[in-house]
């Protein structure tokens, strides 16, 4: 869903236990007395300890709206994201988690499925053109729809590239993630949502210098 003014964020946040706003990282969301969670200046990620501390505020009965704002939410580690997800399964009355991010497609898909997503119209990351070579776009599409034997053959073909194989593969995976994410929010087809965790895991594995063909097959199938 789209919204036009940052001033609307307060009202929109009250409608859900968890809301994701796709807005610039430096945008100021007008949330009253929000508890703010963000990565430390000397860190690049939001840790599980920070999320556990934030969740600790969500206890007992709350008569007025209390907001917990996680800035640059895509920086949550996998462990932090999973800890946060567990808290969403049993939302408490009048507590509202708000995630702010420029790249909502980097949020854990299972969190996305439990949150309301609002996109600032002038900063629409879902409607932006995918500026990439036709070959990469076509391979990304095949990565999303291929199964079984067809996918194994696709993985083998991708992994055979000699020069810049890792960068080439990550480029394909990155485009596949973006396409899959956009397709889900436009069609609400659960198949796209189910594909995202595998794509993200494969991307992370290969980024960490994992064997390209091994992870293309093992993580995706």
145 burial type by CB count under 10 A (0-12 exposed, 13-18 middle, 19+ buried): exposed
Q: List b or e across 6-37, with b for residues whose CB sees 16 or more CB atoms inside 10 angstroms.
A: eeebbebbeebbbbbbbbeeeeebebeebeeb
Q: Assign residue 33 a region: left if phi > 0, alpha if psi is -120 to 50, beta otherwise?
A: left
Res. 19: pLDDT tops 90: yes
User: How many residues appear in the chain?
Assistant: 221
**Cβ-contact 125, 131 below 8 angstroms:** no
For 56-68, the pLDDT digits (tens) are 888 777 788 999 9
For 120-130, the pLDDT digits (tens) are 877 655 566 67
**Cβ-contact 177, 199 below 8 angstroms:** yes
pLDDT at position 126, please? 58
């Amino acid at each position: 869903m789209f919204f036009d003014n940052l001033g609307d964020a307060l009202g929109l946040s009250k409608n859900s236990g968890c809301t994701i706003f796709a807005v610039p990282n430096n945008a100021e969301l007008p949330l009253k007395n929000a508890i703010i969670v963000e990565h430390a200046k000397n860190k690049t990620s939001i840790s599980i300890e920070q999320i556990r501390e934030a969740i600790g505020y969500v206890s007992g009965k709350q008569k007025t709206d209390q907001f917990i704002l996680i800035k640059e939410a895509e920086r949550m580690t996998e462990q932090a994201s999973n800890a946060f997800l567990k808290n969403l399964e049993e939302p408490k009355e009048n507590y509202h988690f708000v995630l702010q991010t420029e790249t909502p497609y980097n949020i854990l898909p299972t969190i996305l499925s439990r949150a309301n997503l609002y996109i600032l119209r002038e900063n629409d990351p879902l409607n932006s053109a995918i500026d990439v070579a036709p070959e990469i776009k076509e391979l990304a599409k095949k990565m999303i729809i291929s199964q079984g034997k067809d996918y194994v053959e696709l993985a083998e073909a991708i992994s055979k590239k000699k020069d810049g194989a890792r960068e080439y593969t990550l480029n394909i995976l990155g485009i596949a993630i973006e396409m899959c994410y956009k397709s889900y929010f436009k069609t609400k087809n659960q198949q796209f949502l189910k594909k995202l965790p595998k794509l993200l895991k494969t991307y992370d594995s290969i980024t960490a210098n994992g064997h390209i063909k091994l992870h293309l097959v093992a993580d995706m199938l």
